[in-house]
Amino acid sequence: MLDTIQTSSRGAVVPGWTGVVRHLHVTPRAFLPMREMPEIKLVEGKGIEGDRYMIGREQGFYSHKPEEGRQVTLFEFETLVALKRDASIELGPEEHRRNVTVEGVPLTHLVGRRFWLGETLLEATRLSIPCRHIEEITGKSIFDPLINRSGLNCKILKGGIVRSGDAVRNFQ
């Protein structure tokens, strides 16, 4: 959550925050359902073991278009709450097709920044963009409601095990 105002090492004032990992999901191939995992293994510079976008595996919907920042993707739990509250759309954490659902993490502020996901260190490369493909898979009209809140693409600077309940912290 956004809780304090902190001064970064470069002197700029940035909001402080701490978040938590709520759900972890992977799937080995395009179109297949995401499976919830108690923990996942992030491999530096490559991706998540067993996931479709792990470099060297590449069986995702976008695998023909390589992208460094697709090694791990995050999604805000708060968006699921907002979709239900504002648009009566029930979207489960297994349906948005990002790997990590976090709570209390301002994803849209993190592009270009580094942060800790449990013991792993990530660098956010860009905001995710929703895709019509997700409507085909879920059967739900969620393309428009997900514009500008469809998650965050990241590369893995330091690998490790991420578990549900792990803290998410800014890198100072």
Q: Which of 18, 63, 125, 164 binds another protein (CB under 8 A)?
A: 63
- Closest approach of Cβ 83 to another protein, in Å? 17
Which part of the chain contacts another protein (CB under 8 A), choosing from 39-47, 58-66, 101-109, 110-118? 58-66
Taking residues 81 to 120 in sequence order and writing x for each that binds another protein by CB under 8 A, - otherwise, the string is: ----------------------------------------
CA end-to-end span of the chain, whole Å? 17
Under rule CB under 8 A, how many of the chain's residues touch another protein? 26
Please state, in angstroms and rounded to a whole number, the distance separating the CA atoms of residues 9 and 96. 35
Contacts of 139 (CB under 8 A, 6+ apart): none
Please state, in angstroms and rounded to a whole number, the distance separating the CA atoms of residues 131 and 146. 9
Please answer whether residues 80 and 74 qualify as being in contact, where contact means their C-beta atoms are separated by less than 8 angstroms: no
Residue 35 touches another protein, criterion: CB under 8 A: yes
Residue 65 touches another protein, criterion: CB under 8 A: yes
Please state, in angstroms and rounded to a whole number, the distance separating the CA atoms of residues 147 and 142. 9
Binding site for another protein (CB under 8 A): 27-33, 35, 58-66, 129-133, 136-137, 143, 147
